[in-house]
């Protein structure tokens, strides 16, 4: 099994997405997804951007935008959806005069996945996509999984069969910042057992070594299955900055849903 499939934006295919859904690949890696000129411009703007704030679950992590995973009640749900359109535009403005990588990614997925792709729509309200996330020096992104169901409205029926994530890398530290992939997908009960005494994330000692470790370069795009356990090692010298996106899979004959 090829753990990481490497391709280009031109050659990215429907089958690459299916490989992640079906578990025949741990990741799909597109080096150089952001052109060098756009990458240099974005890094200059984003490294010390005044709009970055602390993530609700853990303020050690900073972000520009508002993540769906931060929704904890109806007030935060309303905030997320009411700010979605403005946050998409804010990310476009940050990359101007170059195209927003998140817009380019959305178009690529819509063109590549045969039934297409749309923004996630929850009860008539569209999602934000393109959150900018910061992992500063010495901050450890512990092993964890991501699941949309944890933040959906209680009355919302879940038809999603799989969830993928796509990170676009704006800045990578010289030391540290490697992505670790375990290739295992625990159920919620098993996940809670692996948490031990932690409020968030899993105990590394209970997991054993990761199956794959990869260090992307600035400008790269990497897709993976975030329902499988993954982590990011601490940055040793400078912030790790990424644009984060999720993809919901509802079947081979249905459009993908996109959100952050």
197-209 pLDDT, tens per residue?
A: 655 678 888 888 9
Q: Work out the average pLDDT over 73-97.
A: 95
pLDDT at position 199: 58
Token output for 40: 């240099």
pLDDT at position 146: 87
| Residues 6+ positions from 44 with CB-CB distance below 8 Å | none
Are 193 and 201 spatial neighbours (Cβ–Cβ below 8 Å)?
A: no
- The share of the chain scoring above pLDDT 90, in percent, equals 67
Over the stretch 210-220, which tens digit does the pLDDT of each residue have? 999 999 999 99
| Residues 6+ positions from 99 with CB-CB distance below 8 Å | 38
Is the per-residue pLDDT at 252 higher than 90? yes
Is the per-residue pLDDT at 56 higher than 70? no
Is the per-residue pLDDT at 2 higher than 70? no
Is the per-residue pLDDT at 1 higher than 60? no
Token output for 183: 């290739």
What is the pTM for the complete model shown? 0.92
| Residue 227: Cβ within 10 Å count | 19
| Residue 111: Cβ within 10 Å count | 11
Are 156 and 124 spatial neighbours (Cβ–Cβ below 8 Å)?
A: no
Reference 141, options 177, 168, 171, 165; nearest CA is 177
Instruction: For 248, list phi and psi in degrees, rounded to 5.
Output: -100, 130
CA dist., res. 87 & res. 97, Å (int):
17
- The band of 60, judged by pLDDT with boundaries at 50, 70 and 90, is low
- The answer to which of 23-37, 44-58, 162-176 has the lowest mean pLDDT is 44-58
Is the per-residue pLDDT at 157 higher than 70? no
**123 dihedral zone (left: phi>0; alpha: psi -120 to 50; beta):** left
CA dist., res. 81 & res. 112, Å (int):
27
């Amino acid at each position: 099994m090829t753990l990481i499939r490497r391709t280009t934006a031109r050659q990215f295919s429907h089958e690459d997405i299916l490989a992640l859904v079906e578990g025949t690949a741990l990741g799909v890696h597109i080096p150089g997804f952001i052109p060098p000129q756009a990458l240099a411009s974005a890094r200059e703007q984003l490294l010390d951007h005044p709009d970055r704030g602390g993530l609700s679950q853990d303020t050690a992590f900073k972000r520009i935008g508002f993540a769906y995973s931060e929704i904890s009640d109806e007030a935060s749900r309303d905030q997320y959806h009411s700010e979605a359109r403005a946050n998409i535009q804010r990310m476009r403005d940050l990359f101007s005069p170059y195209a927003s990588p998140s817009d380019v990614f959305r178009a690529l997925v819509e063109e590549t996945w045969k039934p297409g792709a749309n923004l996630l729509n929850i009860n008539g309200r569209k999602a934000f996509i393109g959150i900018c996330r910061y992992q500063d020096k010495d901050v450890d992104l512990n092993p964890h999984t991501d699941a949309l169901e944890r933040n959906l409205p209680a009355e919302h029926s879940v038809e999603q069969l799989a969830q993928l994530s796509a990170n676009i890398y704006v800045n990578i530290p010289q030391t540290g910042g490697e992505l670790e992939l375990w290739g295992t997908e625990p159920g919620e009960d098993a996940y809670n057992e692996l948490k031990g005494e932690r409020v968030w994330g899993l105990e590394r000692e209970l997991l054993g070594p990761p199956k794959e470790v990869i260090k992307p370069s600035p400008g790269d795009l990497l897709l993976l299955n975030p329902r499988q356990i993954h982590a990011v090692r601490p940055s040793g010298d400078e912030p790790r900055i990424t644009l984060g996106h999720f993809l919901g899979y509802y079947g081979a004959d249905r459009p993908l849903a996109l959100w952050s």
